């Protein structure tokens, strides 16, 4: 039979590792549960046990079963909702490219004299990256949010340069460099703050 101390040890270990594997701070988890970050800290420091309802909510947030939070397994359980997130992302991404392909086909049929109808695919690049960036933000994937924002920042000037065919517009790429540096610095600052909070 499991003792209270063993239960606290298991629960503390699992709460910490599932929270970290999901890139969630104690404060973010506390906000999702409508608790204070001090309560989350107490659970992780083995000073208190959350009630069954809270444990169920935590398991739901991480997309795992309640038994995974209480188990002594060393491997993390796979979140059940991760596949759903991937499917939703792929559907949204594919929808943008479906619209771009539809424009390409319709322009090819109804406006065959129109030049550069291939630009519909070029415009789909920043739009699809924007969609993925919004989805990444919604699910709290900061690294993917950064990657999508960076790629989108470079694809917008590319779209403009290819559309207008003006040689001087290559200077737009120069304007993106400081923005890219700022975004990278913001990301590394956020990672440092996250590491300090999790100590």
Q: Where are the domains of the chain?
A: 4-70, 82-197
Give the model's pLDDT for residue 119: 92
Q: What is the pTM of this model?
A: 0.60
**Side-chain half-sphere exposure of 128, counting CA atoms within 13 A:** 19
pLDDT of residue 104: 94
Phi-psi region of 34 (alpha: psi -120 to 50; beta: other; left: phi over 0): left
In this prediction, residue 70 carries a pLDDT of: 84
* pLDDT value for 76: 64
Question: Which regions of 66-166 does DSSP assign to beta strands (E)?
Answer: none
Q: 196 and 188 in contact (C-beta within 8 Å)?
A: no
pLDDT of 81: 63
> What's the token pair of residue 112?
């065959």
Domain 4-70 has CATH 1.10.260.40: yes
For residue 69, what pLDDT is reported?
Answer: 86
Can you give the pLDDT at residue 178? 93
Residue-by-residue pLDDT tens, the chain, 199 positions: 778 888 888 888 889 888 888 888 888 888 888 888 888 989 989 998 898 899 988 988 888 888 888 888 766 666 656 667 788 889 999 999 999 999 999 999 998 888 889 999 999 999 999 999 998 888 777 788 888 899 999 999 999 998 888 878 888 899 899 989 998 898 888 777 766 655 5
Q: Give Cα separations from 95 to 31, 90, 112, 113 (angstroms).
A: 33, 8, 24, 27
């Amino acid at each position: 039979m499991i003792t209270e101390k063993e239960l606290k040890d298991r629960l503390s270990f699992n709460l910490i590792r599932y929270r970290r594997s999901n890139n969630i701070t104690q404060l973010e988890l506390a906000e999702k549960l409508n608790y204070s970050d001090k309560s989350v800290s107490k659970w992780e420091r083995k000073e208190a046990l959350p009630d069954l309802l809270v444990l169920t909510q935590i398991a739901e947030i991480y997309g795992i079963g309640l038994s995974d939070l209480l188990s002594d397994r060393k491997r993390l359980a796979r979140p059940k909702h991760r596949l759903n997130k991937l499917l939703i992302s792929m559907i949204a991404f594919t929808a943008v490219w479906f619209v771009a392909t539809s424009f390409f086909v319709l322009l090819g049929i109804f406006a065959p004299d129109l030049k550069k109808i291939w630009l519909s695919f070029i415009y789909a690049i920043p739009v699809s990256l924007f969609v993925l960036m919004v989805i990444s933000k919604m699910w709290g994937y900061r690294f993917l949010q950064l990657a999508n924002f960076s790629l989108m920042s470079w694809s917008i000037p590319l779209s403009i340069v290819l559309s207008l065919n003006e040689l001087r517009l290559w200077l737009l790429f120069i304007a993106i460099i400081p923005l890219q540096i700022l975004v990278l610095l913001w990301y590394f600052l956020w990672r440092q703050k996250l590491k300090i909070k999790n100590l």
